[in-house]
Amino acid sequence: MYRALIIDFSKDKKCFFCKSGKTLKFCVTIQDISSGEVYVSSKSCYEKNIDKFKNKNDNIPNLTKGVIRENSESQYLSKRFAIERDPSSQISNLEYLILRQEKLSDIDKMKYDGIQDIYENYKKGLSLTEIENNRLDRFIETTKKIYPEFSPMNLQRLYACVFWLDYAIINTDYKKTQEFLQSILHDYKKYRMISKKQADCVSATFERINNKITKIKDKIPVVKFIIRANSID
Ligand SMILES: [Zn+2]
C-alpha cells in the first residue's frame, strides 16, 4: 500500500508506476507505507492505481492550483482533479502553510516565524491538529486583509508563475527572450505581482515558446498571474 503525500510541479522526476522514462511536469509524491521509500507518480498513473492508496479518500495538498489549464493528460483526468482545478476551489490551510514556509520561503517577507511551529509539527506528522487549523484560519484571515498579495490563491499563483517562468527560460534558446523572462521573474519575486502589460507580454512569450515545442505535454500551461491593481503601464 502507498500513501499520497502531495501534488506538485516537477522539473526532473519520472513516474514510478509506468516507468515511461518521461520527465513529469505535474506529479504526485507517494510513499510506500511498508518501506518508507518516496517516489513520484504521474497524475494519470496515480488515478489508475488509486486503490493501492490508503488515503485515497483524503484531500492531499495540491500546489498546482495556480494553473488555469494544463496542456497534458486532460482526457485522462477524473473529476477529482477537474474539481481541484476549478479557479474557485478552496486552498487548504495545509497548502498555504507549505507554500509560505517551504516552497516560496526564498521570497521576501514570505516565511513567517509565527507559524513555523505549525509547519515543523506538520513535517513530523504530515497532518494538522484542530487547534493548529484554527490558528491558521485566523492567521490567513488577518493576513488577507493586511497583505492581499499573500492571500491563499495568490500564493498558488505566485508558485505556479515562478515555476513556469523558470521552465520557459530553460526552454527557449533566444537570449533576448531569456533576459526578458528573467527580469519578470526577478520583479515578480521582489514585488510578488506584475503589471497588466508585463503579464500580457509574458503570455505572448509563452505562446511563442509553445509554438516551438512539438509535444503537447511539454508545452507551458495557462498560468494565472497576480496583477498589480490599478496598474497604468
Ligand atoms: Zn506513469
Residue 122: domain span:
93-146
pLDDT in tens, 183-231: 999 999 998 889 999 999 999 999 999 999 988 888 999 998 888 886 5
Q: How far is the CA of 47 from the centre of ligand 1 (A)?
A: 10
pLDDT band at 87 (very low <50, low <70, confident <90, very high): very low
Dump pLDDT digits (tens) for 135-172: 999 999 999 999 888 999 999 999 999 999 999 999 99
Question: What confidence score (pLDDT) does residue 82 get?
Answer: 47
- Count of structural domains, the chain: 3
How confident is the model at residue 230, as a pLDDT? Answer: 66
- The whole-number average pLDDT for the span 51-75 is 83
96 C-alpha vs ligand 1 centroid, how far in Å? Answer: 28
Give CA 86 to chain center in angstroms: 14
CA of 17 to the centre of ligand 1 (A): 5
Q: Cα(84) to centroid of ligand 1, in Å?
A: 20
pLDDT for 232 = 52
User: Are 208 and 158 part of one and the same domain?
Assistant: yes
Domain annotation covers residue 73: no
Residue 190, domain member (yes or no) = yes
The alpha carbon of 21 and the centre of ligand 1 are apart by a number of angstroms equal to 9
Model confidence at 14: pLDDT above 50: yes
CA–centroid distance, residue 63 to ligand 1 (Å): 20
In angstroms, what is the span from residue 2 Cα to ligand 1's centroid?
15
> What is the model's pLDDT at position 72?
54
- Mark whether 126 and 159 lie in a shared domain: no
Quick check: is 208 in a domain?
yes
**161 & 121 share domain:** no
| In a domain? residue 24 | yes
Taking the centre of ligand 1 as the mean of its atom positions, its distance from the CA of residue 139, in whole angstroms, is 38
C-alpha cell at 107: 521570497
Q: Does residue 81 have a pLDDT over 80?
A: no
Q: What is the pTM of this model?
A: 0.88
Last residue of a domain, one of 79, 112, 146: 146
Q: What is the mean pLDDT of the chain?
A: 89
Report yes or no on 80 lying in a domain.
Answer: no
Q: Are residues 162 and 210 in the same domain?
A: yes
Domain membership flag for residue 70 = no
Q: How far is CA 207 from CA 43, 63, 122, 203, in A?
A: 24, 23, 39, 6
75 inside domain: no
27 & 52 share domain: yes
Do 158 and 214 share a domain, yes or no? yes
Contacts 24+ apart (CB under 8 A), 227-233: 227/193, 227/194, 227/195, 227/196, 227/199, 228/191, 228/193, 228/194, 228/195, 228/196, 231/195, 231/196, 231/197, 233/195, 233/196, 233/197
Domain end (from 103, 122, 146): 146
Which of 45, 62, 79 terminates a domain? The answer is 62
